[in-house]
Chain A
Amino acid sequence: MSDRKIRVLLAKLGLDSHTVGVTVIAQSLRDAGMEVVYTGLRQTPDMVVQAAIQEDVDVIGISSLSGAQMQHIPKVLDRLREQEVDDKLVVVGGVIPDEDAESLKAAGVHAVFTMGARTGDIATYIREWWDTQRAQEA
């Protein structure tokens, strides 16, 4: 008997305290039937990675509105690699310049959601990725 739910970790790194975006996304993902583990503000890369491992989430979502993210997000990816965690989807949302989005993707972020992204798009993207993963396992 299977009771599969997608688990998503939402985090805000550093001192960025704009929560409107992450609040809206958390509710949207919950309304789409997902379980959202919200870590709160002022997370360090270590905190995010330990939480992601313990909660065995499928997705790590980082909300970035303060522009300091180029410093923090690559560290999250490094820590994940160090811990040999390679099966989680990492997405970033917020106000992110195109060149930074490209660098993030090159560093291992799967998708960057910015201007014009609908919250529904994010839930859809996550679900499509997850369905693909499940299909591959079968």
Chain B
Amino acid sequence: MERDPIVLAERAREGHQASGARLIRMLEEGDAGALDGLRALLPHAGRAHLLGITGPPGAGKSTLVDRVVGELRRRDQRVGVIAVDPSSPFSGGAILGDRVRMQTHATDPEVFIRSMATRGQLGGLARSSFEATTVLDAMGYDVVLIETVGVGQDEVDVVELAHTTAVVSIPGMGDDIQAIKAGILEIGDLFVVNKADLPGADRVAKQLTAMLHLREAPRDGWEPPIVKTEAERARGIPELVDVFESHRDHLESSGSLHRKAVRRRERVFHDLLRERAAARVLAAEPDAGRGVLSALASGELDPYAAVEALLGPDELSASRGVA
């Protein structure tokens, strides 16, 4: 199996799934050279509509994604899915079971499903999820769905990655509505009440409406709609996909698409810079680096002294004037 990232990128663009999958894997593993492949694909990315689907466990996200994929296929769209699940904090391993709910598309060559584990990343996405969507985008998928577990205001990565973020909730969550606090509620572009056949669906919709009124008026004039669905019976799905498409149109006409692209570029840049700079500092003098880390662990150095041990004294003092 080919390992040259440039060749893999080339083949992926031609539609070779195994090559795209291999490149995603290399990016996920942080292989040297993998970024070359990604950068070769960058000029060809930017066409796909990135859809984030987030919400607490039990909301039926996977089934919803499955039905949305079905509807998109009916509209002749090629679809990529990135399904993110948490890694075990103990072993670092993970059981990724989202494919189980998407069996209808398991042999459709125009649907590419990739399961990813968060691998310790806290924002709800894996570090390489951004990169994986770029690969699928460049491979020509019209829509890339990113499904993540969002259990609170920390799970906001998806908002920075996706063009359109849908927050899914279900009736009967009661106080849990309060739990979808700040972060997600502030930034979700639409809200889905799934399992809407259950009692309390209207109440949830009302609660969401009330909470949305409290948030800042959007700069670009988009009023987040609330869509009711019954994913299991595929009810409300065409309407949901219509909302996705009209949000996409809105993003383009309002200039928000451009703004989001800027935000995304900045986010990727800062993440990468932070990571590389730190790696560089630690690698510059490996012994010193190791020494600092072990002194940090033993308590000899507090975190602040540890940083100054590597970056120089006064690095953190006011006289430096660095924010």
Interface positions of A (Cβ within 8 A of B):
1-5, 7, 26-27, 29-40, 42-44, 46-47, 50-51, 53-56, 83-87, 137
- 3 shortest A-B CB distances, which residue pairs? A40-B100, A30-B93, A56-B21
Interface flag for B173 (CB, 8 Å): no
Chain A residue contacts of B107, Cβ below 8 A: 44, 46-47, 50
Known: A31-B88, A36-B96, A51-B106. 11 other contacts (CB 8 A): A3-B30, A31-B90, A31-B91, A33-B93, A37-B99, A38-B100, A50-B17, A54-B17, A84-B18, A86-B1, A137-B3
The reply to whether B279 and A1 form a contact with Cβ atoms under 8 Å apart is yes
Task: Select A56's contact among B25, B88, B93, B96, beta carbons within 8 Å.
Answer: B25
Find chain B residues with CB under 8 A from A43 CB. 106
Whether A85 touches B18, Cβ cut-off 8 Å, given contacts A34-B93, A36-B93, is yes
Chain A to chain B contacts (Cβ below 8 Å), 11 pairs: A3-B28, A5-B92, A32-B93, A33-B91, A43-B106, A51-B113, A53-B18, A53-B21, A54-B113, A55-B115, A85-B18
B-chain residues with CB within 8 Å of residue A85 when the two chains form the complex: 1, 18
> Is B117 part of the binding interface, using a Cβ–Cβ cutoff of 8 Å?
yes
**Given A54-B17, A54-B112, A35 and B29 contact (CB-CB distance below 8 Å):** no
Total number of A-B contacts with CB less than 8 angstroms?
101
A37 B115 Cβ-Cβ under 8 A: yes
CA separation between A2 and B3, bound complex, in Å? 16
Determine the chain A residues whose CB is within 8 A of the CB of B231 once the complex forms: none
Is B31 positioned at the interface, with any CB of A under 8 Å from its CB?
Answer: yes
Q: How far apart sit A40 and B28, CA to CA, in the bound complex (Å)? A: 24
Q: Which residues of B contact A4 (CB under 8 A)?
A: 29
B97 touches A32 (CB 8 A): no
Q: Does B95 contact A38, Cβ atoms closer than 8 Å?
A: yes
User: What interface size band does chain B fall in?
Assistant: 35 or more
Whether A39 contacts B30 in the complex (CB less than 8 A), given A47-B107, A50-B106, A85-B18, comes out as no
Are A36 and B17 touching (Cβ within 8 A)? no
Instruction: Tell me the nearest residue of chain B to A43, going by C-beta.
Output: B106
Q: Given A1-B275, A3-B29, A47-B107, verify A36-B94 contact (CB < 8 Å).
A: yes
Residues of B contacting A40 with CB < 8 Å? 97, 99-100, 103
Candidates A2, A38, A84, A86; contact of B97 at CB < 8 Å = A38
For A3, list chain B residues within 8 Å (CB). 28-30, 119, 127
* Beta-carbon contact of A30 and B113 below 8 Å: no
Indicate if the CB atoms of A51 and B96 lie closer than 8 Å. no
Q: Which residues of A contact B18 (CB under 8 A)?
A: 53, 56, 83-85
Of B96, B112, B113, B127, which contacts A35 at CB under 8 A? B96
Instruction: Please tell me if the beta carbons of B30 and A1 are within 8 angstroms of each other in the complex.
Output: yes
Measured between beta carbons, the chain A residues less than 8 angstroms from B279 are: 1
Question: B114 contacts which chain A residues (CB < 8 A)?
Answer: 54-55
Asked whether B24 is an interface residue with its Cβ less than 8 Å from the other chain, the reply is: yes
Indicate if the CB atoms of A87 and B1 lie closer than 8 Å.
yes
Per-position 1/0 for B99-121, Cβ under 8 A of A:
11001001101001111010100
Task: Please indicate the chain B residues that have their CB under 8 angstroms from the CB of A33 in the complex.
Answer: 91-93
- Alpha-carbon distance between A42 and B100 when the two chains are bound, in angstroms: 10
Q: For B91, what are the chain A residues with a Cβ–Cβ distance below 8 Å?
A: 30-33
B235 at the interface (CB under 8 A from A): no
